[in-house]
A and B are shown apart, each in its own frame.
Chain A
Amino acid sequence: MISRRPVGSDGELVGLPGRSEPNVRLQNVSITFGDNKALDSVSLEIPAGEVVGLVGENGSGKSTLIKILNGVYRPDSVTRLFIRGEEIFPYEDPSAFRRHGISFVHQDLGLVPALSITENLLHERILHARGAFINWRAMHREAAGLLARFGIAADPRQPISTLADTDKALVAILRAVEELGPNKTLLVLDEPTVFLPRSGTELLFGAVRKLLDEYDMSVLLVTHDLEEVIENSDTIVVLKGGRLQSVLPAESATPASLSERIVGRTVGTGRPVRAAGPAETVLDCTGLVSGRAAGVDFELRRGEVLGLTGLAGSGFEDVLPAIYGAAPRGALARGIVYVPADRKTEGGMLEVSVAENALMPRLGALSGPFGLSPRTLARHGRDFVERYDVRPSDPGKDFRMLSGGNQQKVVLGKWLDTNPSVVLLQDPTQGVDVGAREGINQRLLEAADDGTAVLCATTDYEQLALICDRVLIIEDGRVVGELAGADVERNTIAMHVMQGHRGTDPIRKVG
């Protein structure tokens, strides 16, 4: 069923000259953004009937590679791309990929919830139907056939929104295969299982195998979940820093060996441990269930910086909104503040000035006998932008005119100015430039020194390593491990997040 290719002594694949042409062959794929080579001479082959897993850290070039196959980015001219032996680059028009039978399923699936299963599945044909009328009966019949073949128990007339998550993902995959039209070459699955339960993942890859048996196509699977990629691929491609790190058969890979290839050798650099005596617990979270968090336990102590991390979809992202979002007023009354991930809709008001955004929690206090005077607002605004180093240092500017990093300084400063006892931060460095990142980390450490407890949920391991006293790793909705002291180090965190602990010993069980 699965074609295996010979393996060399070092566990990497040996090229086989004269073998039949793979479905997709990439040679020397390179792309340069400014001075930065995002991809540097990456070559790989995707043979028919195979699932090729693509893994690498954030920034390794994974998504850039996909965006090249998508036509979003145009690679450098040294790049050569072949589909079924035919060279298609340089192309006139990026739709060449589509015409040659490449389609995508992204993490968000891209389904339209209110439309019926049939409309979602066959949208291409419905949109381009000839004649004045659509033969709905035939369409529904065809959709029903597809559903039955892949074991989805649903009426094709029902809206997508009524399906379970797993079935939605299956429909998205079937739709992508439909989109391929008659020449089916490559299906790219871009983290399609992030939001699925374990059983759903198995069902999904069952369907993928069925598709591979049926059509002469291949699958490129992009994921962060190492167990998933080992279980479900034939070959695994590791990217690191924009280069091909290794290509290895999935059967010879283990999560440990793979994460070492992805992250690189771990060097226990250690870090300056902040003087931390026993301190009172300010936030005791027991059995938190919300979204994908399925019983999260931890204690947050005064003056400590605690990190929460895990793979996307592991549930670590659901903890802070659950603590704060349900009742912000109650949380605020207890001195808990929240810096949300989405600065544009949750963090700040785009068309309101920096001063007003920053002074929002303190308006009552700033109001004098004649109300809020523009002078007072301007003075406190000036003081604010100076203290938090907001650039440009003009408090009258609209929030939206600031860069991501400066917006984040405003949101963080707005809350730090209320002298909180607990600061919750969700993904605080997302879209934040390096300089601002440093400033934000500095602020957080200072706040912790003053006794504030900081809880930061992020996949930015670098940031965690820089600021955290302890890091909790969440998997399948639970805390599976805790790193402290010298283990709070970028690569160690990455390694533990990626390797997974299902059924293995936790690093150190907590709670």
Chain B
Amino acid sequence: MTATADQKSTDKATQQDAPTGARRAARGPAWLSAHNLERFALPGAWALLLLVFSAILPENFATAGNFQNIFGSQAVLLIMAAGSLIPFTAGEYDMSIASTMSLSAMTLSVLNVQHGVPLGASIAAAIAVGLVAGAVNGFFVVVLKVSSLIATLGSGTLFLGIVYWMSNSSTVTGIDRGLSTATAGSRVLFGLQPQFFYGLAVAGIIAFVLSRTPYGRRLLFVGQGRQVAHLSGLKVDRIRAGSFIASGLVMSLAGIVYAGSLNGADPSSGQSFLMPALAACFLGSTAFVPGRFNAWGTLVAVYFLYSGVVGLQMLGAKNFVQDIFYGGALVAAVALSQAIRHRNAATRS
């Protein structure tokens, strides 16, 4: 994202703007630096995990079908985790992501299934609901000045209540076939479901926005120094509120994919995405650009965590291992990212 360690050392060596080849040559000997080890520790750990499980379970784990499952089934989680990065970068928590996602999925299902609204209009309504949910969060945090952690925990419960209300606490199925075909139906490439590519696209767009656009930097500046940002002329409150609206928008996309993959919506299962998404964000912030929330790190973290869950389940662990694994990973990831920050403060040069 920004000038990273290898570039820095290169920059010092070649003060002028050297051609790319020369740059790479200068970078060569330094690739095994401690900083690089750290940046690629998470992808490395993931690769190791895949190798170990493949070695233990050659019959089950190391199969094309399993890998198609691992990659294909986590699109909703990936979209949600990537969307959470936006408020996180602006220094805010959005704990309502799971409820917002469920709210969008349920809106789509109820409109399409129970009221016969065409699929396109139902999707538009689902997106609108996500935007409104984000705006409500923004209002609580920026106008009413409630801490975002509390405000979004509250609004998340509120949205969930609405989900139960409009669904009569029951599962709604039977959405227009078009949606499930477009998300989980056919296998497009490498035997992967289309939703995998949707997740990849959303993660890619968010990665670009966060790291390469002035808007992404502004989010970061607001998150890292609200007063500095204000004194530098940024519209801090608008950016903070906007981060919730953007998050709401992305959650509605996740909701649409979720509804497609289930061919409907159920009111409660969406909640199980909250902790894994947070765990992936924090774990991802230890990779590639250590100390900063970033989308590619989050993507690797999503698949790292899910690979672990799948492997453990294949080894005979029961369903509860998922909760233990994701919960533990969240705490471990936060502890790790804090350790990196403290270490950075003490020694990084």
Q: Is A151 an interface residue (CB 8 A)?
A: no
Cross-chain contact A371 with B208 (CB below 8 angstroms): yes
Does B343 reach chain A (CB closer than 8 Å)?
Answer: no
A residues 310-356 touching B (CB-CB < 8 Å): 324-325, 328-329, 332, 338, 340, 345-353, 355-356
The 8 Å CB contact of A340, one of B8, B231, B235, is B231
Q: Verify B11–A378 contact, CB threshold 8 A.
A: yes
Asked whether, in the complex, the Cβ of A363 is within 8 Å of the Cβ of B217, the reply is: yes
B225 touches A352 (CB 8 A): yes
A346-B8 in contact (CB<8A): no
Q: Mark A392-406, 1 if CB is under 8 A from B, else 0.
A: 101111101100000
Q: Which residues of B contact A351 (CB under 8 A)?
A: 224, 291, 341
Given contacts A377-B2, A396-B7, contact A347 B214 (CB under 8 A): no
A33, CB-defined interface residue at 8 Å: no
CA distance A360 to B8 in the complex (A): 19
Q: Known A346-B231, A367-B214, A378-B11; judge A360-B2 contact (CB<8 A).
A: no
Given contacts A363-B214, A367-B214, is CB(A396)–CB(B2) below 8 Å?
yes
The answer to whether B17 and A379 have CB atoms under 8 Å apart is: yes
Contacts of B345 in A (CB 8 A): 400-401
Whether B233 sits at the interface, judged by CB under 8 Å, is: yes
- Known A-B contacts A328-B233, A373-B212; A350 and B225 likewise in contact (beta carbons under 8 Å): yes
Asked whether, in the complex, the Cβ of A329 is within 8 Å of the Cβ of B17, the reply is no
Within 71-124 of B, Cβ neighbours of A (below 8 Å) are at none
B1-41 contact mask (Cβ, 8 Å, vs A): 1 or 0: 11111011001100101000000000000000000000000
Contacts of A379 in B (CB 8 A): 17
Q: B230 near A: Cβ within 8 Å?
A: yes
Is B213 an interface residue when CB atoms closer than 8 A count as contact? yes
Say yes or no: is A113 at the interface (Cβ < 8 Å to chain B).
no
| Contact call B1/A345, Cβ cutoff below 8 A | no
User: Nearest-CB distance from A71 to chain B (Å)?
Assistant: 29
A381 within 8 A of B: yes
B230:A328 contact, CB within 8 angstroms = yes
Quote the shortest CB–CB distance from A165 to chain B (angstroms).
25
Interface residues on B, range: 35 or more
A392 to chain B, nearest CB (A): 8
Q: When the two chains form their complex, are residues A352 and B220 in contact, meaning their CB atoms are under 8 A apart?
A: yes
Given contacts A382-B11, A400-B345, is CB(A349)–CB(B3) below 8 Å? Answer: no
CB closest chain-B residue, reference A414: B232
B337 nearest CB across to chain A (Å): 12
Which residues in window 421-469 of A have CB below 8 A to B? none
Asked if B227 is at the interface (CB within 8 A of a chain A CB), the reply is yes
> Is the CB of B303 closer than 8 A to any CB of chain A?
no
Q: Is A370 an interface residue (CB 8 A)?
A: yes
Q: Please give, as numbers and ranges, the residues of chain B lying within 8 Å of A381 by CB-CB distance.
A: 3
- How far is A363 from B345 in the complex, measured between Cα atoms in Å? 26
Closest to A370 in B: B212
A338 touches B224 (CB 8 A): no
Contacts of A352 in B (CB 8 A): 220-221, 224-225
A464 to B231: give the CA distance in the assembly, Å: 25
Distance between Cα atoms of A400 and B344 in the complex (Å): 10
**A64 vs chain B, min Cβ distance (A):** 29
Check B214–A364 contact: CB distance below 8 A: yes
By a CB distance below 8 angstroms, the chain A residues around B235 are 329
Given contacts A352-B220, A372-B212, contact A328 B232 (CB under 8 A): yes
> Of the candidates A347, A367, A382, A396, which one forms a contact with B15 in the assembled complex, judged by CB atoms under 8 Å apart?
A382
Chain B residue with the shortest CB-CB distance to A381: B3
Residue A374 lies at the interface, judged by CB distance under 8 Å to chain B: yes
| A370, B8: Cα distance in complex, Å | 22
- Fill in one digit per residue for B187-202: 1 if any A CB lies within 8 Å of its CB, else 0: 0000000000000000
For B5, give the chain A residue with the smallest CB separation: A396
Q: Does B149 contact A (CB under 8 A)?
A: no
What's the Cα separation between A490 and B17 when bound, in Å? 46
Alpha-carbon gap, A323 to B204, bound state (A): 43
B15 lies within 8 A of A349 (CB): no
- Known contacts being A351-B224, A372-B213, is A332 close to B233, with CB within 8 Å? yes
Residue in B12, B212, B225 whose CB lies within 8 Å of A371: B212
What residues of chain A lie closer than 8 Å to B4, measured between beta carbons? 374, 396
Known: A348-B225, A352-B224. A328 touches B231 (CB 8 A): yes
Q: Within residues 320 to 349 of chain B, which ones have a CB less than 8 A from any CB in chain A?
A: 341, 344-345, 348-349
Minimum CB–CB distance from A391 to chain B (whole Å) comes to: 13
User: Which B208-255 residues have a C-beta within 8 angstroms of A?
Assistant: 208, 211-214, 217-218, 220-221, 224-225, 227-233, 235
Contact with B along A153-195 (1 / 0, CB 8 A): 0000000000000000000000000000000000000000000
New contact pairs (14) apart from A352-B220, A374-B2, CB-CB < 8 Å? A328-B231, A348-B225, A350-B224, A351-B341, A356-B217, A360-B217, A360-B232, A374-B1, A378-B2, A378-B11, A382-B15, A392-B349, A396-B11, A401-B345
Query: Would you mind naming 5 contact pairs between A and B with Cβ atoms under 8 Å apart?
Result: A346-B227, A353-B2, A367-B214, A382-B11, A394-B8
